[in-house]
Chain A
Amino acid sequence: MSNKLLLAASAVAILSASPAFAADDVNLQTLQAEIQEMRQAYESKIEQLEQKVETLSEQQNQTTKKMAATETAAGEALTPATSKRHIADNSFNPEIGVILQGKYQSFSANEGEFAGFAVGEEAERGQEGLGIDESELNFSGSVDNLFRGSTTIALHEHGGETEVEIEEAYVEAMALPYGLNAKAGRFFSELGYLNSHHSHADDFADRPLPNRAFLDSNYGDDGVQVSAVLPTDIYSEIGGGVFRGNDFPGGGADGNDIGSWTAYGRVGGDIGDNTSWRLGVSTLQVDGAERSANEDKVVFDGDSSLYIAGARLTHALGNDQELIFQGEYFHRDEDGTYDDNDAGTGAIAYDDNQSGWYAQGVYKFHPQWRVGTRYSQLHAGDVPAGLVGSALDDGGHDPWAASAMVDWSNSEFSRVRAQFNREELSDGNEDDQIVLQYIMSMGAHGAHPF
C-alpha cells in the first residue's frame, strides 16, 4: 500500500513496456516529471498529516481534561472533593480485577473416587458445606508498545489451609507480523475449548469429567506458546507450545529437558447473522512424567499423549436470547508404569488408552437468566493383570455425571447459580450433589468468553 512501492511498480510496468513507447520519449519524460511532482506533493502532505495526528492526540487529551474540569466545576457542590478520582482501565496503573466466588455444596455419597483413573486434587468434588471457593486477583496491562503482561493469583483453601497459587503469570508479544502471537511464562494452554478459560467464566459450577480426569481441571504450565491467526476468509488459527512439564498430567520435571508440548488448530465462522461455530483439535504430549495422583497414592511414570477434538455453536434468538451447544472428545494414550501404593501393586507396565467426552447446552431465555444441562463420561480401557483391584481397575464401570443448572446475572459482573449433579464415578456409588454458587467480578472489565 506504500506510495513508493506503487511508484516503483508503475515504473517497472512503464519500463518493461518501453519498446512500445520508444518513440514517445517526450511523453515518458513528462510522465516521469509528473510522477516526481506528485510524489513531492504527497510526501509533504503526508508529513503534515503525520504531525497533525501526533498533535491531535495530545490536544485530545488536553481537551478532555479541560472539558472534564469545566463540567465538574458545575457539579462541584454536589460531589465531595474526595470522591473525585478518575478511574479508567487504561491509566498508568495495571488493570486490576478481583473475582470472588463462594459455594455451598452437599453430597449424598461419602466419596467420589473415579473408577479406573488416578486423578489430581483439582479433579475432586471439593469440600462439602459452605465455603469460599477460589478467589482470584488479576493484574494486567501493556508493558510497552510491544508487550502485554498479565498475572492471576488465586487464593483457595484446601484441607483447612489457605493456598496461594500463581495461576497465570505471562507476557505476550502483541502486534507481531503475519498474525503471530507469542506468550511466555505460566498460563493456561490452548487445549480444547475450556482449558484456556478461567473457571469463573464457565457455564457450570464444575468442569466436565474429562477435563477433571485428564487435565486436573486446568493444564497451566511454565513455557512458551506461539500461535498464528491465518489470513483466510474463515477464521483459522494454529499454534503450539513447549513447557516444563510440571503440571498435571505432567509432574516431577527436573527441568533438564522440555517436559511437554502442545499443538492445536481450529477453524470457525458464521452461518447467517445469528449463528457462529468453531471446531478445534489439540494435543498435549508429556514425555517422561513422574506424576503423583490420588493424593500421592498412585504414581505414573512414562509418556502420556492426550488428543482433544471439540465443537461449539452459538445461536442468537432475537435481542437477548441465546443457545450455546458445546462438546469435546478426549483420547489419552499412556505408555509407562503405574504404581498404586495403597493397593501395594508395585510398578506395573501400562500401555493403553483411555477416553472421555462431554456435551452441554445452555439456553439464555431472558437477559438475566440461563438454564443449562450437561452430560459427561469417561472410559478407562483395559487394566493389566498386575493392577487388578487398584485405582486403575474400573470394575467394569464407566464413570458418568449428569448436571442441570440455572443461573441469574444481575449485571454482567455478577452471577448466582444453582446446580444439581448426579454422578456415578464408581460402580453403584451414586452421588447426588447440590451446588449453590456466586461469582462476582470487580474492577477491570474482562473480555467476554467466546
Chain B
Amino acid sequence: MRYYIPFIAVLGLLCAAPSSAFAKVNVFACEPEWAALSKEIGGDLVKVYTATKAHQDVHHMRAKPSLLAAMRKADLVFCSGASLESGWLPILLQKAGGQNVQQNTVGWLMASDFVRKLEVMEHVDRSMGHIHPEGNPHVHLNPHNILDIADVLTERLFLIDQGNGPAYEANLSAFKSKWKTATATWESSSSNLKGSNVVVYHKSWAYLTDWLGMNIIASLEPKPGLPPTTAHLENLLQSLKGKKVKAILVAPFENEDAAEWLSERTNIPVLHLPYTTGGSDNANTLEDVFDETLSMLNKAAH
C-alpha cells in the first residue's frame, strides 16, 4: 500500500499544478490588436502569445511550428474571425487545439462575431478577388467595436479563470472609462475629416473610414488580395483627376511602391498609418494606435 503514497502525491501535484493561483490564462491572440486588448483586461493574470506581427499580412501566414506549440497551450483563442485567418487557424485548431478552445466554446473568441460587420456579402464569387463572405474582418479600427469586444473578452476571462473574476472586471471598468474619454477626444478632433476622400491599398481601413465618416473612393489592389497592376494604377490615375483626395492609406504589411507611384503623379500624400500595435515606433498600446492615426489624418487634412 505504501507504494501508492508517493504516486498519489505526485498525481495530486500534477492535477493541482495547472489550477494553482499562479497559473496564468494562456491567450493565443492571432493579431497584435487582440493581444493588446488582452493585456489591458487580463493584466498580469494572462500570458499573451501573439501569432502575427504588425508587419505581417495575416492573410498569407502559414501554420508555422511555433504557432502549433502556442495553440497547444491556449486557454483562449482570440482572433478577428470572418475567415481572415482561414489559411492557418483551422489547421492549428485541428492539430493542436484543446477541447476548451474549439469553435463555439468559451475559449474561442472571434472579435468580428460581436460587432456589426461591414461589407457582408450575399453573393460571392472568387472572381471578385479574395473577399470574405462573412463581412470585412478588419474590425478593430473603430474604437466603439473595441469597447464591445472588451466586454465579451472580460466575460470569457471570467468564465475561464473564475477565481480572478473581480480583477478582470476592475480592469475592464478602468479600461472603459479611459477608452471612452479617449474616443470622445478622437471624435471631437476629427470633425473636419468627415466627408473627405481617401485611397486605400486594401479594404483593411473600412471600419476606420466608416467611423470617421470618410469615403474610400479607390483601392490600389484591382481586386481584394491581388497585387496592384500597372493597368489598374493607370486607370486610377485617370479616374482620380479632378477629385479631392486627402491621402493614400498604407498599412505596415502592405507594399508601398504602388502608393508612392500614385502619390508622385497626383501629389496625394501617402500615410503610413500604424494599423495595429507595433505598426510604428510609438504605437505600443491600442490608444497609441488611434492617437497616431488621428494625428496623421488630421495633419494630412490641413
Contact = CB atoms under 8 A, between A and B. Distances in A.
B63 A450 contact: yes
B104 A447 contact: no
A235 B93 CA distance: 14
Interface string B124-166: 1010011001100000000000000000100100111111010
Given A232-B69, A445-B83, A84 B95 contact: no
Determine the main DSSP class of A at the interface with B.
mixed
Contacts of B15: 5
Contacts of B158: 45-46, 49
Interface in B17-68: 18-21, 23, 25, 53, 55-57, 60-66, 68
Interface residues of B, number: 70
A53 B155 CA distance: 9
B122 A235 contact: no
A413 B113 contact: no
Contacts of B71: 229
A53 B159 contact: yes
Given A319-B253, A411-B130, A1 B18 contact: yes
A175 B163 contact: no
A264 to B, nearest CB: 13
Interface stretch (A60-68, A211-219, A423-431): A60-68
Interface string B73-105: 101000000010011101101111111001010
Given A60-B113, A229-B68, A276-B65, A6 B130 contact: no
A233 to B, nearest CB: 7
Given A2-B162, A79-B122, A172-B94, A268 B66 contact: yes
A276 B123 contact: no
Nearest to A368: B227
A60 B65 contact: no
A231 interface: yes
Contacts of B189: none
Interface in B230-274: 253-255
A148 interface: yes
Contacts of A277: 65
Interface string A172-183: 101111010100
A17 interface: no
Contacts of A266: 65
Given A79-B123, A413-B126, A447-B87, A1 B75 contact: yes
B63 A447 contact: yes
Given A87-B124, A268-B64, A447-B90, A235 B23 contact: no
Contacts of A235: 65-66, 68-69
A1 B25 contact: yes
Given A5-B15, A67-B120, A235-B65, 6 more contacts: A9-B16, A56-B152, A71-B120, A89-B83, A229-B68, A411-B130
Top 8 nearest A-B pairs by Cβ distance? A268-B65, A235-B65, A235-B69, A3-B162, A5-B19, A450-B63, A447-B91, A448-B87
